Amino acid sequence: MNLTAEDRVMLGRTGLAVSRLGLGCSALGGVFGAVTESDAVDTVHAALEAGMNLFDVAPAYAATRSERILGAALAGVDRADYVLSTKAGKTTDENGVDHFDYSEDAIRRSVGESLERLGTDRLDIVHLHDFDYQGGRHVHQALGEGFPTLHALKSEGVIAAVGAGIYAMELWQRVLVEVDLDAIILHNHHTLCDMRAFELLPSTDARGVGVINAAPFASGLLTGRPAPDWHPAPEEARALFAEAAAFCLEHGVELPRLALAFSSQEPRLPVTIFSCADRATLRRNLAWARESVDRLLVARVQELLRPVMNRQWAYGGTEPGSLTATP
């Protein structure tokens, strides 16, 4: 099922018209499992053919491999036909070790390298990435240097919009007040197991901040398969998600099918991205996202998941609730 012009919306005050469904490009580099470059490139082409124009990526995804593959896939495509969202401040090396630097030099260098890898002379959105990780030790530098640098790059015409991509809800409340943002990546907060996105919408709506709803499969917890080893959910929580998957199958619906339809059809969050790395899965996900949502089944699944509903996971070593909303 292809998207049409009616499936484009303005992303907040950015002036960017984006498809309601976009492609998260982490999977292109193999973040969720091995993938060939040819399959990854073909996935991007399938997304374009289906009417998707929003592509979100980051240097940290698979040690820049996701950015490089996306750049190769978009070579020769009219620049007006796609919207690029990437990130800065966090990198991941070939050994899977994360590194964080939100200084002016690091942000400018990161943006320049992303431009080169993506084969473009401008970026539509750049988000400061995961500065809530490692117990929040990077928050001061992100607010004091990282965001001012992104605003300078916007003034210079290198990027069109300034964004942020973090997880910790208590820090979101602070960032939305203190930082002049155009858009945000809000991941894992509008899913079958987490509804906290609505806590932020009064702030984003009042400021005209565009919200990209990401991770409708809860970073692997709602796929019906074991979540990736790097996911911080403990075994008892993983067992609950396995139980929910089995319950859905008993009722004739795969858990990820229900999860994507539920997450992508909220009117107050009109833009959702999902990640995949093959044409067949992309086409399947597009169809799933358009299916009617069985609200009774949603309620029963959420009842099963009640022990983990709105539970915040210790992403990046930051314990839930450890970051205060004020300096």
Q: What is the mean pLDDT of residues 71-80?
A: 97
Q: What is the mean pLDDT of residues 44-69?
A: 98
Taking the C-alpha atoms of residue 76 and residue 70, their distance in angstroms, rounded to an integer, is 12
Structure confidence at residue 324 as a pLDDT band (50, 70, 90): low
Model pLDDT for residues 100-137, shown as the tens digit of each residue: 999 999 999 999 999 999 999 999 999 999 999 999 99
Residues annotated as catalytic are: 61
Which pLDDT value is given to residue 327? Answer: 45
Model pLDDT for residues 214-240, shown as the tens digit of each residue: 999 999 999 999 998 889 999 999 999
Query: Per the domain annotation, does 1 fall within a domain?
Result: no
Query: Per the domain annotation, does 122 fall within a domain?
Result: yes
Which pLDDT value is given to residue 319? Answer: 87
Closest CA to 310 of 237, 243, 213, 251: 237
Query: Per the domain annotation, does 3 fall within a domain?
Result: no
Q: Provide the number of structural domains found in the chain.
A: 1
Query: Per the domain annotation, does 10 fall within a domain?
Result: no
Region for 57 from its dihedrals, namely left if φ exceeds 0, alpha if ψ lies in -120 to 50, beta otherwise? beta
Quick one: tokens of 115?
């431009």
DSSP letter for each residue of 35-61: --HHHHHHHHHHHHHTT--EEE--TTT
The answer on pLDDT for 143 being more than 60 is yes
DSSP letter for each residue of 145-213: IIHHHHHHHHHTTSEEEEEEEE--HHHHHHHHHHS--SEEEEESSSBTTB-GGGGTHHHHHHHT-EEEE
DSSP β-ladder status, 123-129 and 83-88: parallel
Residue 52 sits in a domain of what CATH number? 3.20.20.100
Which pLDDT value is given to residue 326? Answer: 44
Which pLDDT value is given to residue 66? Answer: 98
Report the mean per-residue pLDDT for the chain.
Answer: 96
The answer on pLDDT for 325 being more than 80 is no
Which pLDDT value is given to residue 283? Answer: 98
Query: Per the domain annotation, does 96 fall within a domain?
Result: yes
Q: Which range of residues forms the domain containing residue 265? A: 16-317
CA atoms within 13 A on the CB side of 111: 29
The answer on pLDDT for 183 being more than 50 is yes
Quick one: tokens of 215?
């991770």
End-to-end Cα spacing for the chain: 47
Query: Per the domain annotation, does 254 fall within a domain?
Result: yes
Query: Per the domain annotation, does 8 fall within a domain?
Result: no
Angle, CA of 88, 93 and 96, to the nearest 5°: 110
The three-state secondary structure class of 289 is helix
- Residue of higher predicted confidence among 68 and 324: 68
Which pLDDT value is given to residue 46? Answer: 98
Query: Per the domain annotation, does 235 fall within a domain?
Result: yes
Model pLDDT for residues 238-293, shown as the tens digit of each residue: 999 999 999 999 999 999 999 999 999 999 999 999 999 999 999 999 999 999 99
The answer on pLDDT for 60 being more than 80 is yes
Which pLDDT value is given to residue 228? Answer: 87
